[in-house]
Amino acid sequence: MSEQLPANVPLLLTIDDEEQMRDIVAEVARMAGYRSMGACGKLDILRALKPSPDVIVLDMAMPDMDGVEVIWELARIKSRAALILLSGFDLFVLDAARVVARESALNLMACLTKPVAIGQLKQLLIKMRLEAPIDTATT
């Protein structure tokens, strides 16, 4: 589900199998000045990547299509989205995903552990929006 806000407002996509987590990230994204949409499940995720989100918040552990598979798909489509990885598992999972994302030439911005600190996520999103304005102009 996507919000109907002006196209010049950056779009954040949350990919997570937990609806509550998608809702939390969506609310933080709105507070930080982003439009927001969420995806869960392989088909939903693949469809959600079509509007080319500006920021993707990606959970690493999902049943249908895990985070590494999503990273491979982002590399295949040459995504330019800023990427924030989330994991409720140990740091080894995030470290491995970080390596895969960087080797795939993705725009990895941060790796956060669950439960995510809402203030930390909000500050990160605001900083990303203010320091590196996202070009949402259509060509």
- In the prediction, which pLDDT does 94 show? 87
Q: Report whether 83 contacts 74 (CB < 8 A).
A: yes
**Could you give phi then psi for residue 83, rounded to 5 degrees?**
-115, 130
**Lowest mean per-residue pLDDT among 22-26, 78-82, 112-116:** 112-116
Per-residue pLDDT, averaged over 82-91, amounts to 88
What would you measure as the largest C-alpha separation in the chain, in angstroms? 42
Decide: helix, strand or coil at residue 132: coil
CATH number of the 11-129 domain: 3.40.50.2300
Going from the C-alpha of 59 to that of each of 32, 44, 45, 102, the distances in angstroms are: 20, 14, 12, 17
Answer whether residue 85 shows pLDDT above 90: yes
Summarize pLDDT for 45-74 with one digit per residue, the tens.
999 999 899 999 999 988 889 999 999 999
Burial 34-68, CB ≥16 within 10 A → b, else e: bbbbbbbeeeebeebbeeebbbbbbbbebeebbbb
Answer whether residue 3 shows pLDDT above 70: no
Amino acid present at 65: M
